[in-house]
Structure 1
């Protein structure tokens, strides 16, 4: 594991600096990939960066499927909660400097609340290959029935999987929105043959949130009606 940068985030004048400090090249590359995926979904995407503890940063983005996506990397951000344009952040991540310049602050562009860090109840694990198969079938249906505006809402809202806890006390439906968000953000390998047979995704819930954790990141969906995250 790459050790996080231990600098104090201050300039020579003693003023606190604004920016992002990935702990190392792997963390920078992870964030660059996350940001690139966000831009593919929306060229005007806004990425929210939040500190988690002293040495981790969580990147958040709205995927366009009414689903939030997040990726955790080692590093620091100052201030501890900031939003930036994905395009500006992408440029900062490719610059050969330790400090990443995230561009003009866009905190007012982020709407809605984020899910909590803790408290999620583990329901069960699902084979990653099952998710990829659902994504492939969903993509085929989207090509057949979609429009210039994307897949129909009826397809996105369809619960394509029901996950139940051992004993059946708790269960939750997984909508196609979450499956599409997982694959669109690259949180699962794009080809089934690249996924080990024993690789899983983990399904967790809170009363107001559905969370799915995959190899490269997590997606979150508001539960309930109207179940729109950014409102």
Structure 2
């Protein structure tokens, strides 16, 4: 299996994604899939949500492959040739969401999500035990995003914001005067939050909102 990135920028983008995945979980695996001139990387975080980022490139042969995040990171950082060997295959046990069937729900200011994540991190530090933050905190609904057509709202739990913060997905571009926004999308059974540097994807869970609705 050979991984080819379009240029150094795309290599660095995939390398940054892989480094953050490995920082959150040194044993994590990354699923790589190619199509239409792009490579989409998937990983599961310790918060039990998926994170993903797409870069320009191709796989040869063009079939999905799973690599250890630490091995892939070393290959991207050390081997600066055009073709990169992602390393020996690793197991992948997670279900991935569908490619189609998504609908945009709304856009949320990234600064608002940053603020909610900071509040959650403060609570996590206060109440964390030997196994980390309690599940009750991670599953707490911190934001409810409602579509303009009065369709089914999307409830966003704290674990999604922890994953976005831990992966460094929130950020702004110099030309953005009003600050970056995060697109919230949903399918029948999945939710997805797309930020500037990547997306967090999770199965939808019906729960009672504990904060203001949007």
TM-score by length of 2: 0.90
* 2:103 aligned partner: 121
1:41 corresponds, among 19, 24, 30, to 24
- The answer as to 2:4 corresponding to 1:21 is yes
1:49/1:59 contact within 8 Å kept? yes
* Deviation at residue 197 of structure 1 after TM alignment: 3.3
* 1:214 aligned partner: 195
* 2:212 aligned partner: none
Tell me the distance in 2 between the aligned counterparts of 1:40 and 1:148.
19
* 2:211 aligned partner: none
Q: Which runs of 4+ in 1 moved over 2 A?
A: 167-170, 195-198
Alignment of 1:107-146 (within 5 A): 109-146=91-128
Gaps of 5+ in 1: 1-17, 226-231
* 1:156 aligned partner: 138
* Deviation at residue 224 of structure 1 after TM alignment: 3.8
Alignment of 1:52-201 (within 5 A): 52-53=35-36, 55-79=37-61, 80-94=63-77, 95-106=79-90, 109-189=91-171, 197-201=178-182
Tell me the distance in 1 between the aligned counterparts of 2:125 and 2:31.
31
Tell me the distance in 2 between the aligned counterparts of 1:134 and 1:196.
21
Tell me the distance in 2 between the aligned counterparts of 1:201 and 1:127.
6
2:154/2:204 contact within 8 Å kept? no
2:155/2:205 contact within 8 Å kept? no
Tell me the distance in 2 between the aligned counterparts of 1:219 and 1:213.
7
1:142/1:155 contact within 8 Å kept? yes
* Deviation at residue 196 of structure 1 after TM alignment: 5.3
Query: How many pairs are equivalent?
Result: 201
Gaps of 5+ in 2: 207-214
Q: Please give the root-mean-square deviation of Cα atoms over the aligned residues, in Å.
A: 1.5
* Deviation at residue 82 of structure 1 after TM alignment: 0.3
Tell me the distance in 1 between the aligned counterparts of 2:22 and 2:140.
26
TM-score by length of 1: 0.83
Deviations 1:11-30 (A, max 9, x none): xxxxxxx1110110000000
* Deviation at residue 151 of structure 1 after TM alignment: 1.1
* Deviation at residue 101 of structure 1 after TM alignment: 1.1
Tell me the distance in 2 between the aligned counterparts of 1:186 and 1:96.
24
